[in-house]
Amino acid sequence: MSEAVLDSSAVLAVLNGEPGEDVVRRWLAGPVAVLCSVNLAEVVTKLVEQGAAETTIQRALATVQLEVADFDAELAYAAGLLRAATRQAGLSLGDRACLALGIRLKLPVVTADRSWAGLGLPVEVVVVR
């Protein structure tokens, strides 16, 4: 059973050795952390932008034990509905996909994005830096 949903910013903190990495690693020490497939695409995109090759990206992601949850129609609908509650914080579709998954699974979401704090959503938000 998963213990947390990770945002792409949390995964990138670990892969890039950024501030907050230690906090994210504590969440990764549990059985498995969950990453929405939309957030996986964000992680891969950022790594490509940093110049990483596909094999390097695959190896890096293999070092982090993650379960990938599909962004299905129900999750897409829930993420869309979160737009009104998150508009003032400027959250992206990827951000809302992560939050919607956390709400669905009733798990805390772990992020490096401070703008998620205080949104008043029915999910625990753990900001790692």
Give the single-character DSSP code of 34.
E
- The arithmetic mean of pLDDT across residues 81-106, rounded, is 97
Whether 119 has a pLDDT exceeding 90, the answer reads: yes
Per-residue CA distances from 91 to 36, 48, 61, 83, 125 (Å): 15, 22, 24, 8, 14
Residue 129 has a pLDDT of 92
pLDDT in tens, 36-83: 999 999 999 999 999 999 999 999 999 998 999 999 999 999 999 999
In a domain, 59, yes or no: yes
pLDDT-derived band of residue 32, with 50, 70 and 90 as boundaries?
Answer: confident
In a domain, 39, yes or no: yes
Residue 1 has a pLDDT of 56
In a domain, 127, yes or no: no
Residue 61 CA, distance from chain mean position: 13
In a domain, 126, yes or no: no
- The arithmetic mean of pLDDT across residues 95-123, rounded, is 96
- The arithmetic mean of pLDDT across residues 24-46, rounded, is 92
Q: Total domain count for the chain?
A: 1
In a domain, 36, yes or no: yes
More confident residue, 116 or 1: 116
pTM of the model: 0.94
Query: Taking the alpha carbons of 39, 62, 72, 5 in that order, is the dihedral positive or negative?
Result: negative
In a domain, 66, yes or no: yes
Torsion angle in degrees (nearest 10) through CA of 37, 39, 45, 49 = -160
- Which domain covers residue 54, as residue numbers? 4-115
In a domain, 28, yes or no: yes
In a domain, 124, yes or no: no
Q: What is the CATH number of the domain that holds 82?
A: 3.40.50.1010
